[in-house]
Chain A
Amino acid sequence: MTYAYYPGCSAKGSSADYEKSTQAVCDVLGLTLVEMSDWNCCGSTPAHAVDTELSAALCARNLDIAARQGAKMLLTPCPSCLSNLKHAANRLEKPEFRARVDALLDNPAAGNFPAVTSVMQGIAAHCDVNGIAKHIRKNLKGLKLAAYYGCLMSRPAKLMDFGDPENPSLMENLLTACGAEMLNFPLKTVCCGASYGIPERAVTARLSGRILKLAACMQADAVAVACPLCQMNLDLRQPQAAKAVDAFFNMPVLYFTQIMGLAFGLSPTALGLEKLRVSADSLLRKLEAEGGRS
């Protein structure tokens, strides 16, 4: 299956490893992701915080391009991009709103936009447990993981259509299919502090610290994430978070695609593992020790 692909800006900078592992895993599973060539930033939090119509216009340009390129389905790895694109498509159904947004664009946006969904849901729709199992080269048996979704993936519930908004389970399903043991992680949708790390570091440090602390108490080997900003807050800012909650952490924080890629036997470099601040070597060693055969 071929899908239009919207990487989002962080895929070209801080989360290049998410991009790399997403492409690698989808390759293995037979999903072809074709990057839209001239996509622009969705505006992220700053745009909608400043103005709803501005945010919708930035998203509408992308949706319009995808529609004109004949895409039926647009996939994005980033929950924040996903949320913005979905909010925009939804708001643009109102004619008055659409007219005001169209006035900001070069041309009025196409009539019908493609559906937008997350890479995670795209993978799950494309292959069931058996479809995943047949690609496993290194069973993740013995790995204890906490799945952390962040706040945007499942909320607002109706719009995001991601199952139980308080207790999503898609990531657990995918990683269990790879043999990992998934913890019942109660903070899975509690905010990590989002983009406040720069202007209000104390907020992000404390919220991320709480998540890491619980994962450590539950003896997780790693936290699995699906959002570039969550990954940055929990991994790159881990020492700040540790200080805020008076703890010490050495908790690897991997994208779920990096973990799936390990199960598929892809090399750490093919998955961009060297980009993690907290090294994933402890996981690799544990996998080796378990024998690593499916």
Chain B
Amino acid sequence: MNDANNLSRMRDAAFTKDVEAQSGQKMSDCYQCGNCTAGCPAGFVYDRQVNQIMRAVQLGLKDEALGSRSVWMCLSCSTCSLRCPNDIDVAAVMETLRHMARRGNRVTAPKVENFWLSFLDTVRAFGRAYEIGTMALYMLRSLRVFTDLDLVPVALKKKKLGFRPHVVPHGGAAAVARIMRRYKERAVHEGVRP
């Protein structure tokens, strides 16, 4: 089969529409000028540059877009959105793709997701982020020993890490836990990955 046939078989118009609906951005506005890519500080670790991701979404190449590592390495810095001549919020598209990739169980950078989930676990427990707790949970999740071992002595000396978690007073921590529980229940109910 030639490539053109193959390409048309892989195209999924519904995917393009989905991304447009969830991100609120019109994909056909992108004319591939490459401004987003030129300013992207994370481009050096991307497997597909951000304009290529935009193109993949335009073409409905779902696997290409959602399977990309770039979606997980995007720093959400919004430089792309600021510089797009067509006023596309490119960072919002990247974020939407990340949400879709998570839901579709296509996490190409599990370390990044593990870190986020560890952070959110501490928020669920205390209502506020807890730095040492995040690190401990991250180590458990990723089965990696402290990646920042070199920072520990100086972080302790400079009291950069709070030893005790800060719990929101007046029942606030429980209120936050309830928000997160409802979120999870709804996600499960709606069939998406919480």
Whether A193 touches B75, Cβ cut-off 8 Å, given contacts A14-B160, A46-B116, A61-B179, is yes
Contacts of A10 in B (CB 8 A): 129, 131
Interface string of B104-138 (1 = CB under 8 A from A): 00000101101111011001000111110001001
Q: Is A207 an interface residue (CB 8 A)?
A: yes
Whether A40 touches B119, Cβ cut-off 8 Å, given contacts A49-B98, A58-B176, A275-B159, is no
Q: How many A-B residue pairs have CB under 8 A?
A: 172
Which chain B residues numbered 56 to 114 have a C-beta less than 8 Å away from chain A? Answer: 73, 75-79, 81-82, 89, 95, 98-99, 102, 109, 111-112, 114
Establish whether residues A155 and B81, one from each chain, have CB atoms under 8 Å apart when the complex forms: yes
Establish whether residues A9 and B179, one from each chain, have CB atoms under 8 Å apart when the complex forms: no
Cβ-closest chain A residue relative to B161 = A13
Q: Is B30 an interface residue (CB 8 A)?
A: no
CB distance from A73 to the nearest CB of B (A): 22
Which chain A residues numbered 8 to 67 have a C-beta less than 8 Å away from chain B? Answer: 9-10, 12-14, 16, 37-41, 43-54, 57-58, 61
Q: Is A144 an interface residue (CB 8 A)?
A: no
Residue of B42, B82, B160, B182 near A236 (CB, 8 A) is: B160
| Alpha-carbon distance A104/B183, docked complex (angstroms) | 6
Contacts of B128 in A (CB 8 A): 9, 12, 40-41
Interface-located stretch among A198-206, A256-264, A282-290: A198-206
CB distance from B103 to the nearest CB of A (A): 10
Which chain B residues numbered 136 to 178 have a C-beta less than 8 Å away from chain A? Answer: 138, 142, 147-148, 150-151, 154-155, 158-162, 166, 168-173, 175-176, 178
Q: Is B45 an interface residue (CB 8 A)?
A: yes
Establish whether residues A199 and B114, one from each chain, have CB atoms under 8 Å apart when the complex forms: yes
CB distance from B138 to the nearest CB of A (A): 7
Interface size on B, residues (CB 8 A): 63
Q: Is A291 an interface residue (CB 8 A)?
A: no
Main secondary structure of the interface of B (DSSP, over half): helix
| Alpha-carbon distance A105/B179, docked complex (angstroms) | 6
Establish whether residues B178 and A106, one from each chain, have CB atoms under 8 Å apart when the complex forms: yes
| Alpha-carbon distance A240/B76, docked complex (angstroms) | 22
Interface size on A, residues (CB 8 A): 62
| Alpha-carbon distance A46/B180, docked complex (angstroms) | 13
CB distance from A15 to the nearest CB of B (A): 9
Contacts of B82 in A (CB 8 A): 155-157, 165-166
| Alpha-carbon distance A58/B183, docked complex (angstroms) | 11
Q: Is A135 an interface residue (CB 8 A)?
A: no
| Alpha-carbon distance A105/B75, docked complex (angstroms) | 28
Cβ-closest chain B residue relative to A60 = B179
Establish whether residues A38 and B172, one from each chain, have CB atoms under 8 Å apart when the complex forms: yes
Contacts of A105 in B (CB 8 A): 179
Cβ-closest chain A residue relative to B42 = A203
Establish whether residues A9 and B129, one from each chain, have CB atoms under 8 Å apart when the complex forms: yes
Contacts of B148 in A (CB 8 A): 197-198, 201
Q: Is A123 an interface residue (CB 8 A)?
A: no
Establish whether residues A151 and B75, one from each chain, have CB atoms under 8 Å apart when the complex forms: yes
Cβ-closest chain A residue relative to B163 = A13
| Alpha-carbon distance A9/B89, docked complex (angstroms) | 28
Whether A191 touches B73, Cβ cut-off 8 Å, given contacts A46-B116, A277-B154, is no
Q: Return 25 A-B CB contacts under 8 Å, by A number.
A: A12-B162, A38-B169, A38-B170, A38-B172, A40-B123, A40-B175, A46-B119, A46-B120, A48-B95, A50-B99, A51-B183, A54-B183, A104-B182, A104-B183, A104-B186, A157-B82, A198-B135, A199-B115, A200-B45, A203-B45, A232-B160, A236-B151, A236-B158, A236-B160, A274-B158
4 tightest Cβ-Cβ pairs between the two chains A and B: A46-B116, A13-B162, A151-B77, A38-B172
Binding site for A on B (CB under 8 A): 41-42, 44-45, 73, 75-79, 81-82, 89, 95, 98-99, 102, 109, 111-112, 114-117, 119-120, 123, 127-131, 135, 138, 142, 147-148, 150-151, 154-155, 158-162, 166, 168-173, 175-176, 178-180, 182-183, 186-187, 194
